[in-house]
Amino acid sequence: MNTQLLHIVQNMPKAELHIHIEGSLEPELIFALAERNGVALDYPNVEALRAAYDFHDLQSFLDIYYAGASVLLKEQDFYDMTAAYLAKAKADHVRHTEIFFDPQTHTARGVPIGDVIHGIHRACQEGPVSATLIMCFLRHLSEEDALATLDAALPYRDLIIGVGLDSSEVGHPPEKFARVFARCRELGLHLVAHAGEEGPPAYIETALDVLKVERIDHGVRCLEDAALTRRVAAEGIALTVCPLSNIKLRVFDTMKEHNLLQLLDAGLVATVNSDDPAYFGGYLNENFVAAFESLPLGLQHAHQLARNSFTASFLEPEKKQQFLDEVDAYFAAFNVV
Ligand code: ADE
Ligand code: ZN
């Protein structure tokens, strides 16, 4: 592998647009918080928990992911988790991150939604990188539950830039959440949704047409539908692709079979992200390295992916341009235009 290219990719300025903060909870922190909060875990130690991270699909991961999140009870827990992620992001030369959180996972256990949001937000304010919050609705729950969650979050509206849709995809199509997304749109929130990870390309289409999302999370199955691919490219809808996640959850058998390069070649605004880094074997740079080691990606692709990460962000235009200029200046040193 070209070590200079890897060095360039690791050090380039970048944004992360698909990170579930609960998925950044490392086993060591899970055990520390379990002890601090007196929560019993099903595993005797960190090694046993890590050994259970052997997933065969999205649901087998989600079962363990929700169990891990059960140790989060206090505002300080959410702060500690977020501060740990932001330190990792900084080390990976992330300049800006748009962080997903799942309030229903916590409110169902009696945690006040204000504690969830304040803890994450406090770490973002102190954090070493620019960070904003996207509140996700759990699609395996009802739309009524999502509407109630939105109501509960209204006092914190200004701390959130957008909403998303995550959890078990198949059997829970985007259109199930038409009303709650329409309300969020009226509130001026940005809209994203997971679609085309395990679910069919039709879910990408209804996420766009019914929910009116601005970005698709994952979206890798888009390429199964040529007309949809042309549309997503023409509309400049970004896809937040998560390479290591896709291998761990068996969306692709191996990284060599990952379609990131085909997505870029189709003219799609694809980005690279970590999804749930504590569970899938690495943070953002590990995702870039895994993709660049296995796929015929070069310097031009690195430059494109760094640009895409900011282009697809919900940053204000001026801030976005500053970061894009920083990316271009970084690559100018390597004679890439
Ligand atoms: N929640 C956390 N990670 C997820 C993923 N990859 N897909 C759907 N829901 C999630
Ligand atoms: Zn995700």
CA distance 68 to 305: 31
- Band (pLDDT 50/70/90 cuts) for residue 127 is confident
Q: Tell me the residue type at 97.
A: T
Backbone φ/ψ region at 225: left (φ over 0), alpha (ψ -120 to 50), beta:
beta
CB 160 within 8 A of CB 152: no
Ligand located closest to 273 CA: 2
CB 83 within 8 A of CB 125: no
- Ligand 2 centroid to Cα of residue 19, in Å, is 7
Q: How far is CA 12 from CA 6, 94, 313, 329, 330, in A?
A: 10, 8, 17, 10, 7
For 156-205, write each residue's pLDDT tens digit: 999 999 999 999 999 999 999 999 999 999 999 999 999 999 999 999 99
Asked whether 217 lines ligand 1 (CB < 6 A), one says: no
Task: State which ligand 1 atom lies nearest to the alpha carbon of 136.
Answer: 1
Q: Any catalytic annotation for residue 75?
A: no
Domain ranges of the chain: 15-299
Helix (H) or strand (E) holding 84: helix 75-91
Asked whether 26 lines ligand 1 (CB < 6 A), one says: no
- What is the mean predicted confidence (pLDDT) over 86-104? 98
Q: What phi and psi values does residue 131 have, to the nearest 5 degrees?
A: -145, 135
Cα dihedral 11/13/18/24 (nearest 10) = 50
- Band (pLDDT 50/70/90 cuts) for residue 336 is low
- What is the mean predicted confidence (pLDDT) over 263-282? 98
For 34-67, write each residue's pLDDT tens digit: 999 999 999 999 999 999 999 999 999 999 999 9
pLDDT of the residue at 335: 74
Asked whether 20 lines ligand 1 (CB < 6 A), one says: yes
Burial label, 76 (beta-carbon count in 10 A; 0-12, 13-18, 19+): middle
Whether residue 337 has pLDDT greater than 70 = no
- Ligand 1 centroid to Cα of residue 166, in Å, is 5
If one looks up domain 15-299 in CATH, what number appears?
3.20.20.140
- The active-site residue, picked from 75, 98, 197, 198, is 197
CB 334 within 8 A of CB 300: no
CA distance 307 to 323: 9
- Ligand 1 centroid to Cα of residue 267, in Å, is 25
Q: What phi and psi values does residue 254 have, to the nearest 5 degrees?
A: -140, 165
